[in-house]
Amino acid sequence: MSAADCIFCKIAARELPAQIVYEDADTLAFLDINPVNPGHTLVIPKKHSADVFEIDDADWIAVMRTSRIVAHALEKALKTDGINLGMNNRAGAGQVVFHAHVHVMPRFKGDPHSLWPGKPYAEGEFAATGEKIRGALN
Ligand code: 5GP
Ligand code: ZN
């Protein structure tokens, strides 16, 4: 995938403004412009990859490491009651910006956000689904 018109590549290259809160050799963390709560931060690999399927192991580990560093900083700076980590991968999961990024989202008691609703498995579906996934991993 071309990174030429990727907005997060442009932020990493300092060609677009961003409220950068942390960076290291391989990753950058900056505030999301449309936060679920103030402090909502996006963590990206500096090297372009589209999503969890495309990112290489080294960048994935680096992004996870930075996400945790940011989580600690949000808790300390904003006195959060909790932190959600999230990642949308492919349009079918709601991804809008196709440069891999992890959302680090501050949460506060009583805020209006909630976890996704769960739904029960149909008869036999629980074991069959486990079997299908194990099959894909072998
Ligand atoms: P996703 O691809 O994970 O569904 O959503 C992309 C996220 O990037 C959204 O939460 C959106 O608010 C954020 N976003 C989109 N464009 C920009 C931008 O130009 N700068 C920043 N800081 N965040 C952006
Ligand atoms: Zn990019």
pLDDT digits (tens, 9 = 90+) for 67-111: 999 999 999 999 999 999 999 999 999 999 999 999 999 999 999
Higher pLDDT, 72 or 3: 72
Which of the listed residues 14, 16, 34, 63 should we mutate to test ligand 1's pocket, taking the one with most ligand atoms within 8 A of CB?
34
Cβ(80)–Cβ(40) below 8 Å: no
Domains of the chain by residue range: 3-137
Ligand nearest to the CA of 101: 1
CA of 9 to the centre of ligand 2 (A): 4
User: pLDDT at position 115, please?
Assistant: 80
Task: Residue 119: name the closest of 110, 129, 111 by CA.
Answer: 129
Ligand nearest to the CA of 50: 2
Degrees, nearest 5: CA angle 60-63-67: 140
User: pLDDT at position 1, please?
Assistant: 41
User: pLDDT at position 15, please?
Assistant: 97
Atom of ligand 1 nearest to the CA of 98: 2
Q: Specify the pTM.
A: 0.96
| Ligand 1 cavity residues, CB under 6 Å | 7, 18, 30-34, 42, 88, 94-97
Name the token pair of 62: 């680096």
CATH code for the domain defined by 3-137: 3.30.428.10
